[in-house]
Structure 1
Amino acid sequence: MALKRIIPCLLLRDSGLVKTIKFKNSTYIGDPINAVKIFNEKEVDELVFLDIDATNDRKEPPYQLIHDIATECFMPFCYGGGIKTIDQIRRLIASGAEKVAINSEAFYNPQFVQEAAVVFGSSTIVVSIDYKKNLFGKQMVYVNGGRKSTKKDPLTYALEMEKLGAGELFLNSIEKDGMMNGYDIDLIKKISEEVSIPVIACGGAGELNDFKNAFKEGKASAVAAGSLFVFQGKKRGVLISYPDPKEIKEIIKV
């Protein structure tokens, strides 16, 4: 049985950290290197960095920043944002990333996922699935930073990505992003029970009990969160935190 993981998800914009609400209204959090140093001290399992402007701005991944993060980072981390080519993945891994998250390009060019899995191994390739309800109330996968509907439902899409060779799925609810009102347990469970690869649940964590629910009720392999790890209190003051070993033991024993 795979080890359950609790993963801070950190959003990059112009080499700084930000946090969004429903993929909008970004708030500046601070310097990613400083955040990494704090997470090192807290012995975090893993980190995810997502550049939220890379695809729409057609930017190259920030290789120097990834290198700087890797130099400080004691734990494995995944980078996602604007990845379209095998060469980009090769440079990201050379810069220190252990995994890469492919989002929009997985939809526009599904064979890229397959090629990347063959070249680097499935364990390196994470497919990031952003989703929300459309005008008719049906859950749909969205790309381009949540702006464009693929007209694909998340479960069908998840199964397609697994078949192409994805090693993990990063399932992110746009509507719950930054809301801190709990995960979308129903969909997490639905996908986790149908695929045989790990599902990372993201979007909505507001308290530690939400992690437990995602593991127990949602059958997630891992949980990711942003706001819960960078904000404190009702006024959302910036303070980086992470569960202590005793809390983690209680969360993952489910």
Structure 2
Amino acid sequence: MLKKRIIPCLDIKNGRTVKGVNFVNIRDAGDPVELAKSYAEVGADELVFLDITATNEGRKTFVELVKQIAQNIDIPFTVGGGISTVEDVAPLLQNGADKVTVNSSAVKRPDLIKELVAAYGTQCITVAIDAKNIDGQWFVHTHGGSKPTDKLLFYWACEVEQRGAGEILFTSMDHDGTKNGFAISTLKQLSNKVKIPIIASGGAGTMHHFKEVFKETTIDAALAASIFHFGEIAIPDLKSYLKKENIAIR
């Protein structure tokens, strides 16, 4: 059995780590390089860096900041934000990213997933999916959650897998930043639809929420931001708790 992963997420805006609730009400959460370094030191399994305004601002990810973070950590590092072509990926990998994640650009042009996989390999490509429950249907949103689409979560996840993505990072916009727990029933359904690894994001507020998502679904990793950034839960304490609950953790 593959061991479960705990992944802090750095949402970056104007070179700073930020965090919101339901993708709005953004507040500052600190220096990304210092945060990344501390997470690597305390046992985070991976790190995700999302330049959350790159797509809306029509620019590429901050390569220099990626480089600075990579120089200070020794754990797998996934970078996303503003990636819209095969050529956008090379500078990120050359400056220390291990994987990249695409979202809006893949929704707009799904062939991009195949092109990225052909160029860099399945293991390198994560597709992030942000979705919101509207009248009982989960609709995919793009541009940092600001633009609704007519794509349905489960259909899009299956297409993402078919096109060769190595992993899905699913964020429930309804749960994001609420600290009320992950979208368990939706994650169960998602796990049944696809065979590639799924990272659950949105809603972590207590150690019990991590236990719940790992016990009740077959997802591979749980991602969180504010509870780690603001010291509400320490990663070593979380891992110790999960091990006591008989969850295979790295």
Give the TM-score of the pair, scaled to structure 1: 0.93
Indicate which of 237, 243, 246 corresponds to 1:249: 243
Structure-2 residue corresponding to 1:8: 8
Q: Counterpart of 1:150 in 2: which secondary structure?
A: strand
Q: CA RMSD in A?
A: 1.5
Relative to structure 1, is the Cα distance of residues 251 and 57 closer, same or farther in structure 2, using a 3 angstrom cutoff?
farther
Structure-2 residue corresponding to 1:222: 221
1:21-72 Cα deviation digits (max 9, x unpaired): 1101111011011102211220210011111101000111111110010000
Structure-2 residue corresponding to 1:236: none
- Please give the residue correspondences for 1:186-205 in structure 2 after superposition, counting only pairs within 5 Å: 186-205=185-204
Structure 1: stretches of 5+ with no match in the other structure: 234-239
Q: Counterpart of 1:56 in 2: which secondary structure?
A: coil
1:76-134 Cα deviation digits (max 9, x unpaired): 11011110011111111001000101000111110000110111111100000000023
Identity %: 40
Structure-2 residue corresponding to 1:71: 71
State the 4+ residue runs in structure 1 displaced beyond 6 angstroms. none
Q: What is the one-letter code of the residue matched to 1:241? A: A
Give the TM-score of the pair, scaled to structure 2: 0.94
Measured after TM superposition, the shift of residue 146 of structure 1 is: 0.9
Structure-2 residue corresponding to 1:213: 212
Q: Counterpart of 1:220 in 2: which secondary structure?
A: coil
Structure-2 residue corresponding to 1:101: 101
Is this contact kept in 2: 1:182–1:210, CA < 8 A?
A: yes
- Please give the residue correspondences for 1:33-112 in structure 2 after superposition, counting only pairs within 5 Å: 33-112=33-112
Structure scoring higher RCO (CA < 8 A, sep ≥ 6) equals 2
CA–CA separation in structure 1 for the residues paired with 2:136 and 2:195: 28
